[in-house]
Amino acid sequence: MRRWAFLIVVMVLAIAAIAGVVIYSNRTQSEIDTQLYIPKPEHITPEIQLLQKYVQIDTSNPPGKELPGARFLANLLEQNGVKAEVIESEPGRANVYARISGKRRNEGLLLLNHIDVVPADPKGWKRPPFAADIYLNQLWGRGSLDMKSIGLCELDAFLAVTRTHRTPERDLVFLAVSDEETGGKLGTAWLLAHRPDIFKGIRYAINEGGVTETKQEQLTYFGVEVGTKTSVRLRLRTPTREEMQRVRLSLEPYLGPRDADRILPEVREFLHDIAPQRVEIRSLLDDVDKTEAAGKFWLLPRGYKELTQNVIWLSGITTDDKGAAMELNLYNLPDEDPDKRIAWLRTTVAPFGATIDEVISKDPPAPITSTHTPLYALITREAKREYADAAIGTEILAASQNDSRYLRNRGISCYGIWPFEVDYFQTLGIHHTDERIRIDWYMHGIALTRRLVAAYVLEPNL
């Protein structure tokens, strides 16, 4: 009897504890929902209303029908007296191009953004992904961060130059592309191959890719993206599933090796720039060569190590009447020769009976962009003007990519920026549920981009 009484008491206490947690959680959510938790007041500007309209256009890729989004952007340009061209690489796969010609040749600035967004299943979202609801001073919806907001910051800056009614010193090009989320074959890559006139005279490009870090409502680090990994996507074949499983086991050590392959000078600079923001590993990042020499490189978190490594990504194994197949990505350092990486893979998997069935896509080398340029100096100046207390530094993407890699290979210097503040919890929504942007922070991005673009294309002495 005593044993049963003890068990009953334990169960009652457990149920009470669970009930307490549920009540507390519901009360906290209730406070938020009833706005007893009060964020900054919402101020809906025309720029925010435009972003709402753009987010409400479903341009999910796949299936990748960007044409409605392209028409939306083209109409905005035409309404402001700018000739806009909608270019379809395939039916429905649309890009938008507009240019303001300047006085000087070969110093043009390209404002690059993508129209497509990753698909969004409404299940799990607090607000419908294409409703663009404004709730708690945030605009919720797919593309609100990646990257319709940045695209409209660029469009606003482009139109602001036209309203000066001045002939700019340098060309200014607005280019919104399709297909970025699935590799850019029908967007930037297609345009480079079929419409090289768009890129004629372009010296610089501003795109996505930068990172801003925010603590306690203050932007602490403004990272300007200057480089990304390149990739080769392939499909391997073996006669049987068992053989492919052995291939997979042989490749798993390369998912994240311990030691650096090569530390590029720009990577060294980035790690030094970001070190003051990383208290726990500051000493390891500040001088990464010293860290490696001391045998402490393995202590770095994976994301930092990947900046110095050629790594791979593996899919699941599938089978059909031809045997077994597995897709993989070779993520390469920016200056890596992709053909050498393919040759390495072929040699590595051959002893296990595997062959390369298809090279699905292959990026060329994409050199890291220099920070010793007039445009980078302007980005630093204007970021400091908007965010006086923030550290300004570089950013290099370890495992993700953007379309800048295509342009860097053609000699165009590309910089990726998030012109507005973004906090950690907002970044979790990118490619996932509850993507959202603070609308007051978005207006900071509008202001910064407008000043930056005007400074570059209108100032005669740079």
Mean pLDDT of 1-23: 57
Q: Which of 27-31, 58-62, 211-215, 299-303 comes out lowest in average pLDDT?
A: 27-31
- Computed over every residue of the chain, the mean pLDDT equals 92
Instruction: Mark whether 342 and 240 lie in a shared domain.
Output: yes
Cα distances from 131 to residues 135, 140, 426, 460, in angstroms, run: 11, 8, 17, 43
Handedness of CA 232, 60, 195, 460 (dihedral sign): negative
Could you tell me the two tokens for 5?
A: 């009484």
The answer on pLDDT for 382 being more than 50 is: yes
Instruction: Determine phi and psi for 4, rounding to 5 degrees.
Output: -65, -40
- Evaluate if residue 6 carries a pLDDT over 90: no
236 and 202 in a single domain? The answer is no
Whether 291 is in a domain gets the answer yes
Angle at 312 between CA 309 and CA 314, to 5 degrees: 160
Confidence of residue 108 (pLDDT cuts 50, 70, 90): very high
pLDDT above 70 coverage of the chain, percent: 92
Domain tally, the chain: 2
Q: How many CB atoms lie within 10 A of CB 248?
A: 21
Within a domain: residue 289? yes
Residues 299, 300, 301, 307: is their CA dihedral positive or negative? negative
- Is residue 41 a part of any domain in this protein? no
29, 80, 327 from 22: Cα distances, Å: 11, 53, 44
Of 328, 362, 396, the residue that ends a domain is: 362
Q: Provide the pLDDT for residue 389.
A: 93
144 and 51 both lie in a single domain: yes
3-state secondary structure of 153: helix
pLDDT at 88 over 50: yes
The pLDDT tens digits of the residues spanning 240-266 come to 999 999 999 999 999 887 788 899 999
- pLDDT category at 2 given cuts 50, 70, 90 is low
In a domain, 39, yes or no: no
Q: Are 114 and 108 in contact (CB under 8 A)?
A: no
Mean pLDDT, residues 74-103 taken together: 98
Q: How many C-beta atoms lie closer than 10 Å to residue 240's C-beta?
A: 12
Q: Are residues 243 and 358 in the same domain?
A: yes
Say whether both 195 and 250 belong to one domain. no
Q: Are residues 191 and 140 in the same domain?
A: yes
Is residue 19 within 8 A of residue 121, CB to CB? The reply is no
CATH of the domain at 358: 3.30.70.360
Q: Model confidence at 216, in pLDDT bands (50, 70, 90)? A: confident
What is the tens place of the pLDDT at every residue in 390-445? 999 999 988 778 999 999 999 999 999 999 999 999 999 999 999 999 999 999 99
**Mean predicted confidence (pLDDT) in 300-329:** 93
The residue type of 375 is: L
Amino acid at 446: I
Cα 13 from Cα 15, distance rounded (Å): 5
- What CATH number did the domain enclosing 428 receive? 3.40.630.10
**Higher-confidence residue: 376 or 257?**
376
pLDDT given for residue 259 in this prediction: 82
What radius of gyration, in Å, describes the C-alpha atoms of the chain? 25
Is residue 102 a contact partner of residue 167, using CB atoms and an 8 Å limit? yes
> Is residue 136 located within the same domain as residue 88?
yes
Out of 31-40, 51-60, 282-291, least confident range: 31-40
Question: Which of the listed residues 318, 333, 362 is the one where a domain comes to its end?
Answer: 362
> pLDDT digits over 276-294, tens only?
999 999 999 999 999 999 9
Give the pLDDT confidence score for residue 258 in this predicted structure.
Answer: 73
Q: Which domain holds residue 263?
A: 230-362
